[in-house]
Amino acid sequence: MPELPEVETTRRGIEPHITGKRVRSVTVRQPQLRWLVPANLPELLAGKAVRAVDRRGKYLLLKFSSGTVLIHLGMSGSLRIVPVGTEPQLHDHVDFVFAGNILRYHDPRRFGSILWQSGEVLKHKLLANLGPEPLTEAFSGELLFKLSRKRSIPVKTFVMDSHMVVGVGNIYANEALFMAGIKPIRKAASLTRKQCEELVGRIKFVLARSIEQGGTTLKDFVGGDGKPGYFKQQLTVYGRGGEPCVTCHKPLKEIKLGQRATVYCTRCQS
């Protein structure tokens, strides 16, 4: 599943191509995504200019004067800018057509979504209860410490909860916890203030670095410009179960935690 860095990479990729431009038409070839694409979306957007391309968590927000299109990439979705006249391929489900280009939504598994919010977008039910953005000052070690008190769930599960903080997906949680020297199966409440500060710093670092490098190369992900990300080359634990730790060379342990692959070093993380 595309995680926050992949979504932010996509946002940055498409933003300069559509901001300020008017939608000429919207073509919906397959409305049945995770939820139905609104039937009146073409009428709502025709002739309207894109005011901004923002992001909240893993949702891309195409803002118009009359409302906002919310796009979630699901398990395998992607957005690309293609020239007008480019023939659609299999699984190219929705086109936002502009004067010189098309913003094309591609999704083989159809677990993504394209929705419309006419009012304040942050009040949409999918966004209203999300935690702070991880790369903002709102996400701090002090906040993590306060939220984690009396929480007996594993710290990895805790930081992946979008109600606590958005966008810390499985890959980046594994990496940040390794960098912070914290075992992912530890109870969240056992973290000290200092450890919370360290973990927040590492989460910010690994997410920012991944965004700079274009997201993580996964089978289904491509950026808005059609180029894959390159962060996978920098992974220290994720996907390396049984391989030697980059620090102490002891074989990394891999377990399932909340149905997610969790890899850590039993010597370097405590």
Q: Give me the number of domains the chain comprises.
A: 2
How far is CA 149 from its chain centroid?
27
Residues forming the active site: 2-3, 58, 260
Q: Identify the domain containing residue 152 by its residue range.
A: 141-264
Q: Are residues 182 and 81 in the same domain?
A: no
Q: Are residues 176 and 250 in the same domain?
A: yes
In a domain, 134, yes or no: no
Q: Are residues 46 and 145 in the same domain?
A: no
Bridge-partner residues for 68, per DSSP? 63, 117
123: which DSSP letter?
A: G
State residue 263's pLDDT score.
98
State residue 3's pLDDT score.
83
Q: Residues at the annotated binding site for DNA?
A: 91, 109, 151
Torsion angle of the four alpha carbons 125, 131, 133, 135, in this order, in degrees rounded to the nearest 10: -170
In a domain, 130, yes or no: no
State residue 24's pLDDT score.
98
> Which pTM was predicted?
0.88
The answer to whether residues 217 and 231 touch, using CB atoms and an 8 Å cutoff, is yes
Ranges under pLDDT 50 in the chain? 218-219
